Structure 1
Amino acid sequence: MKLKEDLNPMLLLLFHLMVWIYTVITFLPSYLLSWVSRPDGSFYGSEEERAKRAKARSVLGQPEGPYRAVSSMKKLVTSLHPGVDTLDKMFEYAAMRFPHRDCLGTREVISEEDERQSNGKVFKKVILGEYRWLSYKDTLTAASHLGSGLAALGQRPKTNIAIFCETRAEWIIAAQACFTYNFPLVTMYSTLGGPAIAHGLNETQVTHIITSRELLETRLKAILTDVPRLQHIIVVDNAPTFCHIECVCFGAFSVDIPATREHKAPLPSDIAVIMYTSGSTGIPKGVMISHSNIIAGITGMAERIPNLCEEDTYIGYLPLAHVLELSAELVCVSHGCRIGYSSPQTLADQSTKIKKGSKGDTSMLQPTLMAAVPEIMDRIYKNVMTKVEEMNCVQRTLFILAYNYKLEQLAKGYSTPLCDRLVFRKVRSLLGGRTRVLLSGGAPLSAATQRFMNVCFCCPVGQGYGLTETCGAGTISELWDYSTGRVGGPLVCCEIKLKDWVEGGYRSTDKPYPRGEILIGGPNVTMGYYKKDAKNQEDFFVDENGQRWFSTGDIGEFQEDGCLKIIDRKKDLVKLQAGEYVSLGKVEAMLKNCPLIDNICAYANRCVRIPLAQLDKIKHLATQSAFTSICGEMGHSEEFSRDIPESAVSGITTEWKHLGRTGT
């Protein structure tokens, strides 16, 4: 995607002259440097050449597969380190190798204050200090104390315990305690509604739950009477006194209870996590994930991140109750990386809870590794492009020239250090300035956003594909593959094949590429849904070789180089009253890139779109003369359109819905 603008001819000439001089001066040093760094003389090559390089092949040579990564054609890989086959062993291995290195970091809260906005609303703002770190050795000790304390409170091996908490260091400490003492950990999103939370707690019959004071007071308190088996609440911060169930402060375990209680180590086949889904398509389902499942999944993910080591820093802010974040953090732990915690409200300097003039978490932490979901990346893309639109003519022209120039160089396989330093450094600093790998998962990433992130953040953006039922592992694109719209080849821990979906018109015999429902098989495929035998028989199966498979419901196609492209979803296709099929996901993804729309929901009876308007953009539109004619067409006077910016924002939103409905 090239940016378009009427460019000043003189600026265009000067820019190309500067680039030409720089290229001539740096050609020989950069060539020699690349030769030294790759003694074998290998070169990633142009985008076209990279797209032809095989990432996976069909094991049997058949178009439906199964397809495996080129490096694991003979055998799927199941573990990172010899003998490390459970999660407690993995953390002990990391603590033994990196005992004094930073492991988990949390920013100190210096002060909180209420800030009144111009519209009268009051937002809570925080000023945060430095990161405070626990070493790997200290983290392991804290987890051992907590596990011993939970056992003293009556928690028994192979008996479920729940965690209902925001992403923070205590979450991972609690998880590690449960892994060590063989307490299956029930995880639920902190955004779930009361009935869904009660359903999960009752279905898994938990007697102990780990939570935060805020979630206890705002979410759990209202449903405690609906969860009769619950006996103990462990609060990660100060425990309240109102509760009729015994509340214990998380910190007390590190002081009052020694880590001496004996415990029996888990087996690889034992359940490590029962992870409840978001419940977006019905009642949340608990996915049973064994230790060996997670070990296999993170093994496959780690193989796609080059040079992963203890020098890396990962920023954790996505929900740990989601398989993407949990897997990403466990990958980091297995390699001795440090993990600094954040939240969407404090991530960047401009985040909603950061007081103006204070530093956000990315500026302070300067992470090298980061995972994100497309919604966050789309928001960054739209915010930066808004800033570009506000630049003066010279600045905007230079930005667009540099953007298009770098896009061309990336396609040829070249780097652009001059543009990176002079033009994109400020954009790159939004994520701390040191990010070397960005991984996107959870949903398809638009081509425009992926290109933008590759160019402006000066680091590769890998797309991944996986599900809770496969430990988040399925595919991740090679980081040197800048092609868009694809999710890469299968990871070394699994294989993928296609199943014909005749009703939808997808078959493995389709030309030029085979298409069908995606089936994922391998040691990362989980044990199934908790107490859902009928659903297990529908979605999971074991083949004649004893390998477990999961039917994803997603439609994919394998391209010539073995990369997978997600092209549809069985449940996403909706048949309208007139008989035509509409993919709601594609409709939403396309419309969310409109600068006037903040978010959108598509609903099918007739294809209705319900946008959440970007109010700043709507206000700006309302001041333009073009909007006067639009309002006139809708039966409003010019006086109304002039008065909109201050007095009728809600009216604009309503009229925008009318515009969408009429197709204007």
Structure 2
Amino acid sequence: MNAYIVGLVVPLIFLLYRSRHSADRKRRGLPAAEAAGEPGLAVRNHRFASPLSSAWAGVATLAELFERTCRKHRERVLLGTRVLIQRDTDKGPDGRIFEKLELGEYRWLTYGQVFESVSSFASGLTALGIRREERVAIYADTRDRWFIALQACFRRNVTVVTIYASLGEEALCHSLNEQNLCQTEVTTVICGLKELQSLGQVGGQLDSVKRVICMDDDIPYRFSSLDAQNGWTSTSFSDVEKLGRENPVEADLPLSADVAVIMYTSGSTGLPKGVMMTHGNVLATVSAVMTIVPNLGPKDVYLAYLPMAHILELVAENLIAAVGGSIGYGSALTLTDTSSKVKEGKTGDATQLMPTVMAAVPAILDRVRDGVHRKINAKGGLSKKLFDIAYGRRLHAINGSWFGAWGLEKALWNFLVFKKIQAILGGRIRFILCGGAPLSGDSQRFINICLGAPIGQGYGLTETCAGGTFSDFDDTSVGRVGPPLPCSYIKLIDWPEGGYSTNDSPMPRGEIVIGGPNVTLGYFKNEEKTEESYKVDERGMRWFYTGDIGKFHKDGCLEIIDRKKDIVKLQHGEYVSLGKVEAALLASPFLDNIMVHADPFHSYCVALVAVSHPALEQWALEQGITILNISELCKKEETLKAVQASLLKEAKAARLEKFEIPAKVKLIADPWTPESGLVTAALKLKREVIRKTFQEDLSQLYTS
């Protein structure tokens, strides 16, 4: 009887909580016409009277924030790295060689130890001759020394140029070469051993580079010839720290308006552009996100695996450090026990670290969802029936139904079904920050239910330091990106060519424009692009014109509905939004990625589909088809028909128009990765690169 009462009381309390907070949720965003100069168009977060610049009194720069937190949390652990036990290689079914790693426990550095390392490295930079406001590039995978190098540069007011470790030679030269239009005049490159090898291949084109600092201390002898060959001097990270300890200097701290980072955009629509971010810009976003994540503090453990050259990861790590939390480093290829680089039977990063907070891009969460679905479908029988019942019951509850799984029933389903799924990411996740691209409603619901954790879905750009909007932790709606962050104003402007107007009913629609202290200075040495995208109003507020199309819901939450650059007009006048179609079709289990292509000379669109290897192999097994390799499987007529049928199913579910559904499809066996150059480090499509790479295939789709 008592258990029955508890099972009823818990949902009652929850419903009362929802009722009490419903008024607050309806007021997420409020008009702020006085800030915009255009009545009724600008919206701000109702909890703050003006944009938030800093959440810490007296702190105006990232350097000050880091020193403050290190003194406060000196004995707590800050940065953790797994010990490499063994490195092996394994041959896949198609003959390709894969690296397999056995990784041990995390080894930790305290806040005090990290601060000493930062101070020593900063002094070492000065001893090497690097002066304030000089530019240093960090070109490496995410790791503890990336973070240490970043903070050390901040202590000397040295501007950091971030370079994606996955950049190809052309983009690398563009980011570093002083003779390029977007020159950064980098004098020093801090990199890993792998990146040092890449630098050596283009070193002759990097005229401004005088020094290279390798994060890996054991530099093979064969790399010593690069110094004479390229005219630079190379040294190890440890040697620079040692030099700093022997020649200590006082910090030369920056001002809020000083440029902290020149961060290159992902380059999804062309060559990357260098965005100039001041300390005040980044601090504003860090401060704003801190107010969104519930009870963020010293007990939190963050799993860092996204590129630090991406603004989402840079903000997240600075935020965790600011509140006294711990950062454990991993990689996308060692994230879970079944990740591609993890040796069979060994643990992934999440299992070992058991994080409480993670940042993710939608592609990562989509893969977690697809992986779980594949396992459940493969098991079938009672396991699948239990999962379907549990998922359905929890879905009713999340949607607010009285008849959903609440109280003891929720705990029972967690124990019987979802506990094993939660263990994939360590079993302790309590909050996920998601950004970089729109997250599908299906993936959001799946994560909410199976991981039992809310997802804070945000919207922002490199040009706004990832600041824009962020969903409230108790908002269970899908497809929206929340109200404005406390550091931002958001307004919509008409785009007549696309048919969007702020006078549209029932919701205003238009191009999204972001203003506030998080809006950056512009593009480095690219005044034309800066003037095109940045405007300053009569009140002195800086606005960035995003090119994205959104609509405001009545409660002040924003929904992204289109992108100006993704819209193509077909032969008979119909408009196709490529991004919208791709987002809908990605729900197909056969897809790892997709690029829809359209042009004004045809009345239909086509698509290139990078297939999901596990899903295709499972389908072939069920059909009794002998699998030689994925390439051969992609050429079979029955495979193409199965994929097209799946795409049609998802298109109908998303209510796409007939002209929006790809009429012809080409199946691609090789995955699209940052290393292949076809997607960015944030896994967004590089449309122009893909179009050029598969130009012949696209032509055949239109002519066949």
Q: Same fold (TM over 0.5)?
A: yes
Alignment of 1:392-411 (within 5 A): 392-411=380-399
Match of 1:131 in 2: 106
Secondary structure of residue in 2 paired with 1:612: strand
Distance 1:386 1:167 in 2: 30
Match of 1:229 in 2: 208
Match of 1:320 in 2: 308
Q: Which amino acid aligns with 2:84?
A: V
Q: Deviations over 1:483-502 (max 9, x none)?
A: 00000000111110111111
Match of 1:43 in 2: 17
Match of 2:617 in 1: 619
Distance 2:496 2:468 in 1: 24
Alignment partner of 1:378 is 2:352: no
Alignment partner of 1:275 is 2:263: yes
Q: Which amino acid aligns with 2:632?
A: G
Match of 1:602 in 2: 596
Match of 2:240 in 1: 253
Secondary structure of residue in 2 paired with 1:646: coil
Match of 1:448 in 2: 442
Distance 1:502 1:268 in 2: 39
Cα shift at 1:609: 0.5
Q: Alpha carbons of 1:569 and 1:398: their partners in 2 closer, same or farther (altered >3 Å)? A: same
Secondary structure of residue in 2 paired with 1:104: strand
Task: Confirm or deny: 8 A CA contact 1:46 1:412 kept in the other structure.
Answer: no
Task: Confirm or deny: 8 A CA contact 1:52 1:560 kept in the other structure.
Answer: no
Task: Confirm or deny: 8 A CA contact 1:324 1:441 kept in the other structure.
Answer: yes
Cα shift at 1:45: 4.2
Q: Deviations over 1:110-158 (max 9, x none)?
A: 1111223444433221111110111111111111111111111111101
Q: Deviations over 1:557-584 (max 9, x none)?
A: 1101000000111111111233211111
Alignment partner of 1:194 is 2:174: no
Alignment partner of 1:59 is 2:32: yes
Q: Deviations over 1:188-240 (max 9, x none)?
A: 111111121112112111111100011111x2111000011211100000234
Question: Among residues 548, 553, 573, which one is paired with 1:554 in the alignment?
Answer: 548
Q: Deviations over 1:38-59 (max 9, x none)?
A: xxx9713499x58962211112
Q: Deviations over 1:567-603 (max 9, x none)?
A: 1111111112332111111222222221112221222
Match of 1:14 in 2: none
Match of 1:646 in 2: 627
Q: Alpha carbons of 1:505 and 1:124: their partners in 2 closer, same or farther (altered >3 Å)? A: same
Distance 2:351 2:488 in 1: 37
Task: Confirm or deny: 8 A CA contact 1:63 1:509 kept in the other structure.
Answer: no
Alignment of 1:24-103 (within 5 A): 24-28=5-9, 30=10, 43-45=17-19, 49=22, 53-60=26-33, 64-72=40-48, 74-103=49-78
Match of 1:243 in 2: 226
Match of 1:512 in 2: 506
Match of 1:209 in 2: 189
Distance 2:189 2:560 in 1: 38
Question: Among residues 413, 421, 433, which one is paired with 1:419 in the alignment?
Answer: 413
Task: Confirm or deny: 8 A CA contact 2:362 2:439 kept in the other structure.
Answer: yes
Secondary structure of residue in 1 paired with 2:608: strand
Q: Deviations over 1:320-348 (max 9, x none)?
A: 00001101111111101100000011110
Question: Among residues 270, 275, 279, which one is paired with 1:291 in the alignment?
Answer: 279
Q: What are the ranges of 5 or more consecutive residues in structure 2 without an aligned counterpart?
A: 178-182, 645-661, 666-704
Task: Confirm or deny: 8 A CA contact 1:51 1:561 kept in the other structure.
Answer: no
Deviates more, 1:331-340 or 1:651-660: 651-660
Distance 1:331 1:254 in 2: 25
Task: Confirm or deny: 8 A CA contact 2:127 2:243 kept in the other structure.
Answer: no
TM-score normalized by the length of structure 1: 0.89
Q: Alpha carbons of 1:530 and 1:201: their partners in 2 closer, same or farther (altered >3 Å)? A: same
Task: Confirm or deny: 8 A CA contact 1:188 1:277 kept in the other structure.
Answer: no
Alignment of 1:332-411 (within 5 A): 332-411=320-399
Deviates more, 1:169-178 or 1:238-247: 238-247
Cα shift at 1:315: 0.4
Alignment partner of 1:574 is 2:568: yes
User: Percent same amino acid among aligned pairs?
Assistant: 42
Q: Which amino acid aligns with 1:55?
A: R
Q: Which amino acid aligns with 1:71?
A: R
Task: Confirm or deny: 8 A CA contact 1:192 1:278 kept in the other structure.
Answer: no
Task: Confirm or deny: 8 A CA contact 2:606 2:663 kept in the other structure.
Answer: no
Q: Alpha carbons of 1:46 and 1:618: their partners in 2 closer, same or farther (altered >3 Å)? A: farther
Secondary structure of residue in 2 paired with 1:71: coil
Q: Which amino acid aligns with 1:215?
A: E
Distance 1:310 1:143 in 2: 21
Q: What are the ranges of 5 or more consecutive residues in structure 1 without an aligned counterpart?
A: 1-19, 36-40, 626-641
Alignment of 1:10-25 (within 5 A): 23-25=4-6
Distance 2:441 2:256 in 1: 40
Task: Confirm or deny: 8 A CA contact 1:498 1:517 kept in the other structure.
Answer: yes
Q: Alpha carbons of 1:23 and 1:209: their partners in 2 closer, same or farther (altered >3 Å)? A: farther
Task: Confirm or deny: 8 A CA contact 1:148 1:260 kept in the other structure.
Answer: yes
Q: Deviations over 1:60-108 (max 9, x none)?
A: 3988521011101x22211011011011100011011100101111000
Question: Among residues 499, 517, 526, which one is paired with 2:520 in the alignment?
Answer: 526
Distance 1:573 1:23 in 2: 55
Distance 1:467 1:368 in 2: 25
Match of 1:115 in 2: 90
Task: Confirm or deny: 8 A CA contact 1:64 1:514 kept in the other structure.
Answer: no
Q: Deviations over 1:451-477 (max 9, x none)?
A: 011000001012100000100011110
Task: Confirm or deny: 8 A CA contact 2:335 2:350 kept in the other structure.
Answer: yes
Distance 2:576 2:20 in 1: 36
Task: Confirm or deny: 8 A CA contact 1:105 1:339 kept in the other structure.
Answer: yes
Secondary structure of residue in 2 paired with 1:89: helix
Q: Alpha carbons of 1:92 and 1:366: their partners in 2 closer, same or farther (altered >3 Å)? A: same
Secondary structure of residue in 2 paired with 1:567: strand
Secondary structure of residue in 2 paired with 1:44: helix
Q: Alpha carbons of 1:120 and 1:282: their partners in 2 closer, same or farther (altered >3 Å)? A: closer
Distance 1:648 1:209 in 2: 41
Task: Confirm or deny: 8 A CA contact 2:122 2:155 kept in the other structure.
Answer: yes
Distance 1:228 1:100 in 2: 44
Match of 1:638 in 2: none
Q: Alpha carbons of 1:51 and 1:440: their partners in 2 closer, same or farther (altered >3 Å)? A: farther
Distance 1:503 1:121 in 2: 49
Secondary structure of residue in 1 paired with 2:51: coil
Distance 1:319 1:23 in 2: 49
Q: Which amino acid aligns with 1:44?
A: R
Q: Alpha carbons of 1:115 and 1:541: their partners in 2 closer, same or farther (altered >3 Å)? A: same
Q: Alpha carbons of 1:269 and 1:387: their partners in 2 closer, same or farther (altered >3 Å)? A: same
Deviates more, 1:118-127 or 1:304-313: 118-127
Match of 1:145 in 2: 120
Match of 1:628 in 2: none
Distance 2:163 2:176 in 1: 9
Distance 2:334 2:630 in 1: 28
Alignment partner of 1:106 is 2:100: no
Match of 2:296 in 1: 308
Alignment partner of 1:540 is 2:534: yes
Count of residue pairs brought into register by the alignment: 618
Distance 2:137 2:441 in 1: 39
Task: Confirm or deny: 8 A CA contact 1:64 1:498 kept in the other structure.
Answer: no
Deviates more, 1:113-122 or 1:352-361: 113-122
Match of 1:165 in 2: 140
Distance 1:56 1:432 in 2: 35
Alignment partner of 1:178 is 2:178: no
Cα shift at 1:263: 4.2
